[in-house]
A and B are shown apart, each in its own frame.
Chain A
Amino acid sequence: MFPDFTNYLVLVEKIFGIVGSLIYLIFALVIVKQVNTMTRNVRDKFNGILIVFSYIHLVVAILLVFLAWIIL
């Protein structure tokens, strides 16, 4: 009789999912920081839109962490 590894596998999946989404969250934060630096350096018409997009990306990345926590 083999031991049941299913629970361990689910746990490993969850940990991978959460760690991966956290790494992505850091990447999203870097994008926000970098867009802010870029827009401070070079000011043009579409800077505001770019900042908004970077924050939307960050919010979805945060959502991903929660989803990984809840769903996986």
Chain B
Amino acid sequence: MTRAKNLDMVAPDDMVETKRELRNEIVENKVEPAMVKDINKTKKKKMVAKTDITGDLNDRIYGIVGHTKHSLSSLLVNPHVFDFEERAAEEKIILVARPHWFTNVSWIIISILLVLAPSLLGFIPIIDDIPARFKTIGVLVWYLITFAYAFENFLSWYFDVYIITDERVIDISFNNLLDKKFSEAKLSMIQDVTSRVSGLGQTMFNYGTVYIQTAAEVAEIQFEMIPNPEKIIKVLQLLRQEEERETLEGRVR
């Protein structure tokens, strides 16, 4: 039975299938009950070992980054809802990062001012001379453009995601409505990781850019304006160590 040989490669949910297959094998080949017990014990041991490794890794990542407090948080650790189109079936998302919330302050202030502007313009006498029909259309257009401005900026932040999985690092960026960028590099391809925190805002709120040099086709992946860059570097170090250990133990997918 091929499944049993590659037990480390199958997902925990597949155990039910394996058990059913085992039962069929017992019926068909009349396998001794003692042998079945041995096989089950071996499987359980392997499963426990794998769960321990994953659980231990999760605990260490939680230890570094902490737990996610809100869905709109800039750092999502082991997210349950988050997913992306290019994810492989067995690939596990370890960390999702978005630019720091402070990067949104400028467009939020501008949006508030744009919302308040029509009421402020009411004090200018020349506005009274404009016909009412133009005013109605003008106000509607103004608020539509304000909404579009705020919405586009929010989308640019919300969909500008940096993902670390157990296999690779991914940068998905929507720079504007018509520009999407996807770049990825395998963890084993990462050669050098550096970070840069510069300027008053970045130093005060501790966010910056992490530069990931790779041996892949994309020479460098940048995690821009992410909070706690030093923690991201630690997580990457940890995952690279884990990847190396997997390579040595022959557990590479």
A residues neighboring B (CB under 8 Å):
17, 20-21, 24, 27-28, 30-31, 34-35, 37-38, 40-46, 50, 53-54, 57, 60-61, 63-64, 67-68, 71-72
Contacts and interface: CB of A to CB of B under 8 A. Distances in A.
B153 to A, nearest CB: 12
B158 A46 contact: yes
Give the size range of B's interface with the partner. Answer: 20 to 34
B72 A46 contact: yes
Given A30-B178, A31-B177, A67 B155 contact: no
Contacts of A42: 82-85, 159, 161, 172
A17 B138 CA distance: 10
B140 interface: yes
What secondary structure prevails in chain B residues at the interface with A? mixed
B141 interface: yes
A72 B172 contact: no
A41 B84 contact: yes
Interface of B: 71-72, 79, 81-86, 133-134, 136-137, 140-141, 144, 147-148, 151-152, 155, 158-159, 161, 172, 174, 177-178, 180, 182
B71 A50 contact: no
A63 B141 CA distance: 11
B136 A71 contact: yes
B133 A44 contact: no
A40 B85 contact: yes
A28 B151 CA distance: 11
A64 B140 contact: yes
B211 to A, nearest CB: 23
Contacts of B133: 71-72
B82 A34 contact: no
Contacts of A50: 155, 158
Contacts of B159: 38, 41-42
B81 A41 contact: no
Contact of B155 (A38, A43, A45): A38
